[in-house]
Amino acid sequence: MDRETCLSFDRQDPLTAVREEFVVPDGVIYLDGNSLGALPRQTVSRLNQVIAEEWGDGLIRSWNDAHWIEAPARIGDKIARLIGAGPGEVIVADSTSVNLFKLLAGALRLQSGRHFILTEAANFPTDLYVAEGLTDLLGGHHAVRLVERGQLEAAVDGSVAVLMLTHVDYASGAIHDMRRLTAAAHKYGALVLWDLSHSAGAVPLDLKACEVDLAVGCGYKYLNGGPGAPAYLFIATALQDAMRSPLSGWMGHAAPFAFERDYRPAAGMARQLAGTPPVLSMMALEMAVDLWSGIDQREARRKSMALGDLFIRLVDETCRDLGLEVASPRSAEDRGSHVSLRHKEAYRVMRALIDRGVIGDFRTPDLLRFGFAALYTRYVDVFDAVRCLREVLASRSWERPDYAQRLSVT
Ligand SMILES: *Cc1c(COP(=O)(O)O)cnc(C)c1O
């Protein structure tokens, strides 16, 4: 596999022109779109317009005139189309962590007599922390049951209120079988909550076909909504009017501007809103989601699988005996859109790569993580990144003492 061949893959790539829709700085090979998606060009002009015209000139009138107030439901419907959900089943609000709290609390209330939130011990920490924080708050009547990945199906029984899982694992990239695990939980009457943070925009999803009850996901990863973008939540239509949010704020009231003394939840997903939406961030997310609506997700998936396969192949071929081990599934069907490599000095190696313009990230204790965002990552980027990795390892240039100093965000 040589560089020329990778360039020819890029010339044949049906998504090659989509890269032009993004700002990718010169001299940077960006392999961290799984953590913070790149900036869509249109977002810059749209946000300037929102600030100058809608906020600057329109002022408070823009809640009505520029349809700001409808943004959470409107953008939710656009995200619904990307994840196989129906209209009115997704709303944009808060962060993934907060949405997890809201949905878990709502689900436990529906499942009285069942005491457990069942999840995987290696789930993303915020999912575990939020679940434990909630069971703590509920005074010890509930508990989080942690099991290993392979034991999940066997651990479901009639005491499980909710099975909560992350579809694509943040560390290894391994994909859970959504349809099968959802069906296994339903057999015992448990509800199923999927965290789609590393899935939406990376792996085609069909929540309806999988009969998923509840889901949350992140706006700033493969969806490219911007740093700290609002998140989204999904509730299957049949459950919506039974689910109550524990954050019963006025934006989820049936009539927020009636200023009634008592809380009455709005119908459908709107009751999942708590407070006023962050309009600037919402508009950035909307631009990014609109960009996705013109993309054939199967094409994007094919490309991201091919990029991951190419990466693993090049690492196998050119980085032997350099202390690396592939920590992700080798079969592309079983993997999301990133590949992790294990190295005992992973943190320092990643710092050296970033200094050379190859941006991935580090996940404790020993993972180098590389994300392949199909919309703007090229085959030649993968080639150049692996060449740089080999050079850093072979020359031991990661040994600079300052690379051992951990920055706050890794
Ligand atoms: C990125 C990610 C989150 C992020 O949660 P925030 O509340 O946005 O910080 C949550 N869960 C998973 C699985 C993630 O990968």
Task: Look up the CATH number of the domain holding residue 320.
Answer: 3.90.1150.10
Contact in structure between 103 and 216 (CB atoms under 8 Å): yes
Ligand 1 atom, smallest distance to 97 CA: 7
Structural domain includes residue 97: yes
82 and 178 assigned to the same domain? yes
Residue with CA nearest ligand 1 atom 5: 96
135 and 73 assigned to the same domain? yes
Domain count, the chain: 2
Tokens 């999940």, located at residue: 152
Q: Which of 294, 328, 358 is the last residue of a domain?
A: 294
SS3 of 369, please?
strand
Structural domain includes residue 358: yes
| 104 vs 99: CA distance, rounded Å | 8
Contact in structure between 343 and 323 (CB atoms under 8 Å): yes
pLDDT in tens, 277-301: 999 999 999 999 999 989 999 999 9
152 and 127 assigned to the same domain? yes
Contact in structure between 384 and 373 (CB atoms under 8 Å): no
Chain mean pLDDT for the chain: 98
171 and 186 assigned to the same domain? yes
Ligand 1 atom, smallest distance to 98 CA: 7
Q: Which of 294, 325, 360 is the last residue of a domain?
A: 294
182 and 287 assigned to the same domain? yes
Is the alpha carbon torsion for 377, 380, 383, 385 positive or negative? negative
- Helices 96-110 and 125-137, axial angle in degrees (round to 10): 40
369 given a catalytic annotation: yes
SS3 content of the chain, % helix, strand, coil (to 5): 45, 15, 40
The whole-number pLDDT of residue 293 equals: 87
Structural domain includes residue 308: yes
219 and 231 assigned to the same domain? yes
Structural domain includes residue 188: yes
Is the alpha carbon torsion for 191, 198, 90, 144 positive or negative? positive
At 102, which helix (H) or strand (E)?
helix 96-110
Ligand 1 atom, smallest distance to 166 CA: 13
| Catalytic residue, candidates 30, 124, 376, 383 | 124
In sequence order, the β-bridge partners of residue 191 are 162
By residue count, the chain amounts to 410
296 given a catalytic annotation: no
| 272 vs 289: CA distance, rounded Å | 21
Task: Write down the number of H helices and E strands in the chain.
Answer: 13, 15
pLDDT in tens, 83-110: 999 999 999 999 999 999 999 999 999 9
- Helices 379-394 and 3-12, axial angle in degrees (round to 10): 150
95 CA distance to ligand 1 middle (Å):
8
Domain at 197, CATH number: 3.40.640.10
Closest alpha carbon to 378 in 42, 39, 44, 24: 24
Mean pLDDT of 376-401: 97
The number of beta carbons lying within 10 Å of the beta carbon of residue 155 is: 17
Structural domain includes residue 363: yes
Is the alpha carbon torsion for 367, 372, 373, 378 positive or negative? positive
| 119 vs 132: CA distance, rounded Å | 11
269 and 386 assigned to the same domain? no
Domain holding 346, by residue range, is: 3-30+296-404
Contact in structure between 9 and 379 (CB atoms under 8 Å): yes
Residue with CA nearest ligand 1 atom 2: 197
pLDDT in tens, 242-281: 999 999 999 999 999 999 999 999 999 999 999 999 999 9
Structural domain includes residue 320: yes
The whole-number pLDDT of residue 409 equals: 94
278 and 167 assigned to the same domain? yes
Does ligand 1 have an atom closer than 6 angstroms to the CB of 171?
A: no
The whole-number pLDDT of residue 37 equals: 98
281 and 247 assigned to the same domain? yes
384 and 282 assigned to the same domain? no
Of the pLDDT bands very low, low, confident and very high (cuts 50, 70, 90), residue 140 is confident
The whole-number pLDDT of residue 103 equals: 98
β-pairing, 160-166 vs 358-359, is: unpaired
Contact in structure between 273 and 91 (CB atoms under 8 Å): yes
Structural domain includes residue 102: yes
12 and 56 assigned to the same domain? no
Contact in structure between 392 and 386 (CB atoms under 8 Å): no
Does ligand 1 have an atom closer than 6 angstroms to the CB of 96?
A: yes
Does ligand 1 have an atom closer than 6 angstroms to the CB of 34?
A: no
289 and 308 assigned to the same domain? no
Structural domain includes residue 103: yes
Ligand 1 atom, smallest distance to 195 CA: 13
Q: Which of 294, 312, 340 is the last residue of a domain?
A: 294
61 given a catalytic annotation: no
Structure tokens at 270: 């709107």
pLDDT in tens, 200-210: 999 999 999 99
| 117 vs 121: CA distance, rounded Å | 12
| 308 vs 370: CA distance, rounded Å | 9
